[in-house]
Structure 1
């Protein structure tokens, strides 16, 4: 079938530059992945962990052999980091991110960027004005099945895309916003649909709040793509990550179909009229490719290369702003019962 399923070759070159000093803002669950990555690398030094809770921050810093701070300005003054990463509760990103941008330090922030478009625009304008490196962690792009899917699509192996499907969801992560599922979880879906298939130009949505009235825990969306393709999108807090296929991407083209199962588990490529499919899944010793957490390690590799080269981030914070724009358009569509245009730019 002409598809090369050999693994991409990764060449590790010993670092010749001094290690970059990296500070992590956030001592919560995913913040530990940030601490782990930068403490383990040979080309970075984890110089600080900043948190709000003194005990938890001190414990995290001790576990990774670094210094704990509860004051962001004090950390910046004392440590002079080369890069700061932000992994805070989803609805509390704006103020510390703005403070860091005004300090002029390069940033890698967790998704979602923020919950408000005006705040997103303020952050992006500040970064532009100061020339700050401003990356966002949309790490699903770096899952091996997604990387391979992107290569197949870019090479035209599926022909013209006809339809795309996204499904993702499990246990809830409630905040104060009624649209937490849309903004903090489904950000990955909005980003990946556009990353793989091109711009979404309109949305029509239906939402469900039966489990928690006033909180929209499941959303179903009909997508219109700029290419003329159509899409379906289902995001939920009313399911479980223990279920098989809790995350699924299906892209059907005129020359074939691909399916990504559970982000990192499997990629299946099929051809019209052919009952034999090609499958990629991680081999026995390939623990790295089957781990969801190491999608972040892969993104960090790309971030550090770009930062050292003076290039734009591989996933700029603008992508977080775009995902938020699509999420809020979905919310508006559901509230008003109308199709909402979402032209890019």
Structure 2
């Protein structure tokens, strides 16, 4: 039976989500909501549903609504997430929030705590590991083919360079130094954590190029981030926002190396390569031939369909709260990492330990 969904925030990403749900047999969008009446009305007409202009009116007007999808934006793409999400959770609705979970990490902590108190599912659109290459790579890890984690290298950002640069005039970006950190680093951190576990130490060396400085652009757009994982592995994340042209691996690459093998995902959805450690490998001169799996696509947009469907599946299957994929708790973890990056930058590159997550209590219905 299809799950009835209301979408809040009908700018670009909200319409993207609605289009994804239209293709999903598990989903039935019954309402759209936006404080800008023209946006709500246009989306309602496009998708053949009713328009609302407040979360309260939408929930009270749609008695069978089960999920509220929050796709609002705001400063750093997240300052309008907290209030509608809290309101929907207060009504006992399951909630999916676009990334980042919140603009402010303190609000994110409150949001996760409130969802747990209300016993509702809270998910986040951490869609970058809902891909076929990520599934294949996870199989390598779960089967023991990777072994003990040694290192993780992640590179995610945007192509660009000085000749393509233009100062952003949007009020959600202009004048906000941490826009790239808050709006984007959630994604690569979520992928690193998905494969390698919790991060316990973070240190960043971040800056902006001269052409941004000359234009009066305050965005700290280049981030070179060193991390330590709880399991003893180390990691590195390089991200920039259109300050140069990316080379090998494209805009998105992830390499995870363990004591028994190494895998590398390129361009998120494109392919995964795996190098198996075998006895007799020469230290430098001989590189084993990798097992390469191509998935025949470079359509990143399919990750939205995959992630939204996963949330619907988890809600319908009534999974244990701690088993919810890309949960609010997961999103809070990576937001804590982003906050630690910001703190490290403000301290001139000091090592920072991210704020710990709240304790897991476990679901008594599943822990017999």
The counterpart of 2:257, out of the listed 237, 242, 252, is 252
1:52 partnered with 2:56 = no
Give the 3 Å change call, closer, same or farther, for CA 242–193 of structure 1 in structure 2: closer
Shift of 1:53: 2.2
Q: Deviations for 1:68-121, whole angstroms, at most 9, x for unmatched residues?
A: 222221111111311110111122111111111111111111110112121112
Give the 3 Å change call, closer, same or farther, for CA 269–239 of structure 1 in structure 2: farther
**Counterpart contact for 1:218–1:238, Cα < 8 Å:** no
Residue in structure 2 matched with residue 199 of structure 1 by the alignment: 198
Shift of 1:220: 0.6
**Counterpart contact for 2:26–2:312, Cα < 8 Å:** no
Give the 3 Å change call, closer, same or farther, for CA 260–239 of structure 1 in structure 2: farther
Partners of 1:304 and 1:122 lie apart in 2 by 24
Residue in structure 2 matched with residue 225 of structure 1 by the alignment: 229
Structure 1 residues 1-345: aligned runs within 5 Å: 17=1, 19-80=2-63, 81-89=65-73, 90=77, 91-170=79-158, 175=173, 177-210=176-209, 211-212=212-213, 213-239=217-243, 245-272=250-277, 273=281, 274-283=287-296, 290-311=298-319, 312=321, 313-337=324-348, 338-342=350-354, 344-345=356-357
1:52 aligned counterpart, secondary structure: coil
Q: Deviations for 1:228-272, whole angstroms, at most 9, x for unmatched residues?
A: 221111111134799761111011222222111111011111234
Partners of 2:116 and 2:146 lie apart in 1 by 37
**Counterpart contact for 2:176–2:218, Cα < 8 Å:** no
Shift of 1:343: 6.7
Q: Which stretch shifts more, 30-39 or 106-115? A: 30-39
Give the 3 Å change call, closer, same or farther, for CA 241–344 of structure 1 in structure 2: farther
Partners of 2:356 and 2:145 lie apart in 1 by 25
RMSD of equivalent CA atoms: 2.1
Give the 3 Å change call, closer, same or farther, for CA 218–299 of structure 1 in structure 2: same
Q: Deviations for 1:143-187, whole angstroms, at most 9, x for unmatched residues?
A: 111121122112221222211111111168963642121122110
Partners of 1:240 and 1:317 lie apart in 2 by 33
2:123 aligned counterpart, secondary structure: strand
Aligned length: 323
Which residues of structure 1 form unaligned runs of 5+?
Answer: 1-16
TM-score between both structures, scaled by the size of structure 1: 0.87
Partners of 2:94 and 2:261 lie apart in 1 by 41
Which residues of structure 2 form unaligned runs of 5+?
Answer: 160-167, 282-286, 358-368
Partners of 2:245 and 2:118 lie apart in 1 by 41
Partners of 1:140 and 1:282 lie apart in 2 by 15
Q: Deviations for 1:186-205, whole angstroms, at most 9, x for unmatched residues?
A: 10111111110122110111
